[in-house]
Structure 1
């Protein structure tokens, strides 16, 4: 048995889904360890485009079992809506998707609270997806949350949800327009519908290990949005790195053989927060347009900038990657020159590590190295040496700076547009 972990190394939206889709062809089990339907993975396969949010991307492989793990938070209506959308695309998900009974429930209540909390922050808003993820993890940590297992005991379920609603009602008063009885009523229908999907993941994963299954873990969001290591407070509410994998899934550290960091060939970010290499000019506009940088979950345009190797090296320090997947190299095909952020300084002093303070990060001076562009399409490339010389030099420059081999290079949206080295 071996476990391969695929993680985002920037601010999310690196294109993790495509690599997961490719690797899932050889996986018996694909798992999500954390996050909720605030994630967004787009996969183009067999001429069809699939959007994933809470569901693992391994569902594309008809032989792969998929698990939404204990560290996740689940909005049940969205879970079923996403399943229905995949089935309309011809995907058969029967007996291939399961939810841990220890995962926490995202209620419509949490989503309403998410919006109210963002409004409270005014100009300091986080820029959340307003999917209720933060409030759900908050109630989890204050031990007032509701878990998937609770849904199947009507008395306990209603008692916990009423207590939760009462607490938020006291806080927000008339601002909270929430129909508690309607939500309770909806879960009377979901209770029976959920039965085939809910399992105890502990024996499931133990059995997978005993059978020496190949297991793939799909990270959601990315390390710069990690609650501990990201650009706090402009982060999500879970551990998006390797630590979240170990707590969200009972796989054990000895099982993990590979940790793959997915790196977009430039940098994007959705929502608020510091972004040192952001280009608020025609460069940023060109990256946004050519890269079609619009959030899968939010529909918001992504902020765009040059690749930031300070972030990638810091990401490697936290997650200890065994290899990298460089994505969307083709977006840089039409640039005369390409800049790469290689260092930060603050008030004239070079910074030796990535700063924890967001105010400092917002004011750093960025050192760039300029590399020549290649002005040749890369999308048709099948092998590394099919790439233009300057494109290969760009890849090798990143490898040398980070100290980790780039094993996969994405040069287009389809499955076939991935170079393996």
Structure 2
């Protein structure tokens, strides 16, 4: 039995869905532990593209149990749309294949409305780049102890009481502060009760089931969303998400004891990307950045926004090693670097003439640092057809070795293309 956590090592969009899909083969349970439908995992299987926002990407395997932990916030309408979308692709999501934690919080219509009007009210320089899906306001209600949990859908009277109290406050904000239209109780209530009927069979105690699975010797895979530098505490605040994205939150977000985690795999793109606003020291504004964007098809799976692109940031990588306790790396999109004559990696920052080896917590300093690069020779041949690590160009293997030496963490997985088959498993993290 092993329990493995998969997290993003940069600003998200590292290809976690594909790696989770690979490791699901060796798992019995796949657990999403944080975030909401502001995140998206894209998979390509036999040429077919699947995009997941809430359901763990392990759902593509019919003999696996997927779980949505208490740390996830759920828009029930989006979740049901995702279930229906999978059904259209001949994937039936039954209650013995998906469980939703009764303690997960619900994203309500007023959360999304507040998210949108608050962002619209900010000046361009102060905009966070929120997806407008209600993530921040929902987490605010959760921490403020006025949120509505998934389990509340099953108690009609309790749900009514909570909804009435919430709308009294939210409508005051919408109408008085933002000059927006109020939200009617009946509109929200009637839809929520329909959602309750459809979701009831999936709702349960994820923590209890996972503990039983652990005692029964099952393999458990914890699937994170976003990336380390988007962590609410440790990322480039305030240009972050509203939850803890680092590996430690797998335990909080699923009700699983930390002593039972055996390995943490950090997913790291062979270069760096970021969606939305915020510091990005290695961002490229030249033809190379444009080439990485085009060749890597760098558009957000959730918003469709163009991703900013840059060279690999070793400072960010080492932050991820420290914050997550990484035991292995999964290096993705190595193929996108094919054709680059020279490849660069930032091994430090210059902060006002002084070396800096961690992302500054001061957001002004984080925005002002200059990357200190080291250069390596690139390779000309395309590598997406390679299925054996030894067949990679010497320069590609040297680049991987340099990343391993710099971070002190071994590359266990190397991805050379978008399809499921284009992944080289060098070491299985489930095998102790």
Q: 1:352 to 1:269 in 2, by over 3 A?
A: closer
Alpha-carbon distance between aligned partners in 2 of 1:286 and 1:301, rounded to the nearest angstrom:
13
> 1: CA distance between counterparts of 2:402 and 2:30?
32
Residue 221 of structure 1 deviates from its aligned partner by: 0.7
User: Counterpart of 1:82?
Assistant: 82
**1:36 equivalent in structure 2:** 36
- Superposed counterparts of 1:234-273, under 5 Å: 234-273=239-278
Return the match for 1:168 from 145, 167, 170: 170
Aligned to 1:195, the other structure's residue is in SS state helix
Partners of 1:352 and 1:223 lie apart in 2 by 16
Equivalent residue, structure 2, for 1:26: 26
Separation in 1 of the partners of 2:181 and 2:259?
47
Partner of 1:411: 416
Structure 1 residue 213 and structure 2 residue 218: aligned? yes
- Distance in 1, matches of 2:208 and 2:324, equals 27
Which of residues 274, 282, 288 in structure 2 aligns to 1:277? 282
- Name the structure 1 match of 2:297: 292
Q: Deviations over 1:319-352 (max 9, x none)?
A: 0111000000000002111111111011111124
| Farther-moved stretch of structure 1 (182-191 vs 289-298) | 182-191
Task: Provide closer, same or farther for how the CA distance between residues 301 and 321 of structure 1 changes in structure 2, counting only shifts above 3 A.
Answer: same
> Mean alpha-carbon deviation: is it higher for 286-295 or for 191-200?
191-200
CA separation of 1:177 and 1:169: change in aligned 2, threshold 3 A: closer
Equivalent in the alignment of 1:143: 145
Residues in 1 aligned to 2:182 and 2:299: alpha-carbon distance in whole angstroms: 30
In structure 2, distance between residues paired with 1:176 and 1:393: 59
CA contact (8 A) 2:6 2:247 kept: no
Residue 177 (structure 1) shift: 4.7
The Cα of 1:49 is off from its aligned counterpart by 1.1
Looking at structure 2, the residues matched to 213 and 158 of structure 1 have their Cα atoms a distance apart, in angstroms, of: 39
Deviation larger for 295-304 or 176-185? 176-185
Name the SS of the counterpart of 1:409 in structure 2. Answer: strand
Matched with 2:310 is 305
Q: Matched residues in 2 for 1:417 and 1:249: separation?
A: 31
Match of 1:47 in 2: 47
1:98 match: 99
> Is this contact kept in 2: 1:31–1:216, CA < 8 A?
yes
SS of the aligned residue for 2:122 comes to: helix
The equivalent residue for 1:196 is 201
The one of 122, 128, 131 aligned to 1:129: 131
Moved over 4 A (4+): none
**Distance (Å, rounded) in 2 between the aligned partners of 1:180 and 1:340:** 54
Q: TM-score, normalised by structure 2?
A: 0.96
Deviation at 1:211, TM superposition (A): 1.1
- Alpha carbons 1:270, 1:301 under 8 Å: kept: yes
Shift of 1:180: 3.0
- Corresponding pairs, count: 421
Rounded Cα–Cα distance in structure 2 between residues aligned with 1:339 and 1:177: 52
Q: Which residue of 1 aligns with 2:65?
A: 65
* Secondary structure in 2 matching 1:379: coil
Instruction: Establish whether residue 179 from structure 1 lines up as the match of residue 180 from structure 2.
Output: no
Change over 3 Å in CA distance of 1:141–1:294 after alignment to 2? same
Q: Which runs of 5+ in 2 are unaligned?
A: 427-432
CA distance in structure 2 between the partners assigned to 1:157 and 1:5 by the alignment: 34
